[in-house]
Amino acid sequence: MNSRRDFLQKIAAASIVVPFFPKTVEAATESYQGPLLRVAILGLGSYGTRVADAMQTCKKAKLVGAISGTPSKLKDWQSKYNIPEKNCYSYQNFDQVKNNPDIDAIYVITPNSLHKDFVIRAAKAGKQVICEKPMSVNAKDGQEMVDACKKANVKLLVGYRMHFEPNTLEIIRMRNAGEFGKIMFFQGLSGFRIGDPTQWRLNKQLAGGGSMMDIGIYSINGARYMVGEDPIWVTAEETKTDPVKFKEGVDETIQFQLGFPGGAVASCLSTYSMNNLDRFFLNGVQGFAELNPSTGYGPIKGRTNKGELSFPHVTHQTVQMDEMSDIILNGKQPIVPVDGAEAVKDLKIIDAIYLAIKTGKKVDVKL
């Protein structure tokens, strides 16, 4: 396995009815008539392609544009996804999208360090913005992205697909209902053996780090939505067994701990050197919940002290884009936030983890 992003999955989707809007466009389905979020994807790599494929079965979002630094990819996408040439842009000229009324939102799916510039440019063009996670390489840049979108009066959402996953949401519902009692402990294991040593994820300038900026953020974010609180301190230790592959500033394995105001603690692992690590475990005084796998492309498997969870698998990116259409067009409030402010919190925790590694000390976190 070269990457968790190479997992295969079946395309599926769930229909959700939304209120009628005065300005509506008929979706490419007989079961839904309502507003469509018309999306251009910026960054046509493997994950951009995964999102594009998943959007073919969306009810409320439609892929209508493509933005890339590679002309041949634009030609391929025009053919594969029936995208008009007038809705295709290069990285150099995509600011002209401001004059294109057929595109509502731009989904930025590039290497991490490029997110900030593209998000701010999209906001200045007056388009709604969706950005892959981590939203940026540090909290300072992330906050500047949030501020730029606020100034431009556009929404900034982040690709937290797990925030819409039914097994995950059921555990959150049970926790909120008090079914696990007081939460005491969370464990998050996030890792895989990364392949090609020349890929951008192992380039400090493009990725902003290593495993923590790619896979570890799942345990950070998962700890927050599973425990139901934001941490107030972190400790962390780094292990590096291959300094040739994992150069300075590119973390291979990080163990980190989080402390929460209610007394719960989390013990987490982020790694690029071990497979079979995709598990969340939540423990309360009256019960437990487990997701294993917890964040892969699916199917997600869940169980609690009350038994197995049996929600059918749906393609995460399909559901994500339909839900984000509802958020942008209808003002829907998701159960777990997916906005830029949510992403800045994760970036602050990542900043604190790297500081804890550097100093060898517990670092207080203020979110």
Task: Please check whether residue 325 is in contact with residue 36, taking contact to mean a CB–CB distance below 8 angstroms.
Answer: yes
Residue with tokens 């594969």: 80
- Of the residues 62, 73, 133, 301, only one is catalytic, namely 133
DSSP 52-120: HHHHTT-SSEEEEEEEES-HHHHHHHHHHHT--GGGEEETTTGGGGGG-TT--EEEE-S-GGGHHHHHH
Catalytic residue among 81, 107, 160, 218: 218
Asked whether the bond before 293 is cis by omega within 30 degrees of 0, the reply is: yes
Would residue 358 show up in a list of annotated catalytic residues for this protein? no
Q: Among this protein's residues, is 133 annotated catalytic? A: yes
Angle at 101 between CA 29 and CA 136, to 5 degrees: 90
Burial class, 142, CB count within 10 angstroms (exposed 0-12 / middle 13-18 / buried 19+) = buried
What count of Cα atoms within 13 Å lies in the side-chain half-sphere of residue 126? 8
Active site residues: 133, 218
